[in-house]
Amino acid sequence: MEPQPQPVPNDALRAQGVIVTSLEDLYNWGRRNSVWPLQFGLACCAIEMIATTMARFDMARFGSEVFRPSPRQADLMIVSGTVTKKMVPQIVRLYNQMAEPKYVVAMGACAISGGPFKQGYNVLKGIDRYIPVDVHIPGCPPRPEALLHALMTLQEKIGSQRLTGEDRPRHLRAEAPSEFAIPVHGKHDIEPPCNPEVWSAPSGAPGAAAGGGGTTEPGAGGGR
If residue 106 lies in a helix (H) or strand (E), which one and from where to where? strand 103-107
By CB under 6 A, is residue 183 in contact with ligand SF4?
no
Binding segment for ligand SF4 (CB under 6 A), chosen from 16-24, 39-47, 52-60, 61-69, is: 39-47
Binding-site string for ligand SF4 from residue 109 to residue 128, where x marks contact by CB under 6 A and - marks none: xx----xx------------
Pick the binder of ligand SF4 from 28, 53, 64, 82 (CB under 6 A).
82
| Residue among 116 and 177 whose Cβ is closer to ligand SF4 | 116
The answer to whether residues 137 and 106 touch, using CB atoms and an 8 Å cutoff, is yes
Q: Establish if 108 lies at the interface with ligand SF4 (CB under 6 A).
A: yes
We find the least distance from the C-beta atom of residue 127 to ligand SF4, in angstroms, to be 12
Closer to ligand SF4 by Cβ: residue 120 or 192: 120
Length of the chain counted residue by residue: 224
Rounded to 5°, the CA angle 107-48-99 comes to 50
Q: Where are the beta strands (DSSP E) in 51-102?
A: 76-80
DSSP 5: P
Q: Which is nearer to ligand SF4, 117 or 199 (CB)?
A: 117
The DSSP result for 166-185, as a single string, is: TT--GGG-TTS-S--PPPEE
Nearer to ligand SF4 among residue 18 and residue 140 (C-beta): 140
- Measured from the CB atom, the residue of 140 and 176 that comes closer to ligand SF4 is 140
- C-alpha closest to that of 156 among 19, 29, 21: 29
Q: Cβ of 200: how many Cβ atoms within 10 Å? A: 16
Residues of this chain that bind ligand SF4 (CB under 6 A): 43-45, 81-82, 108-110, 115-116, 140-141
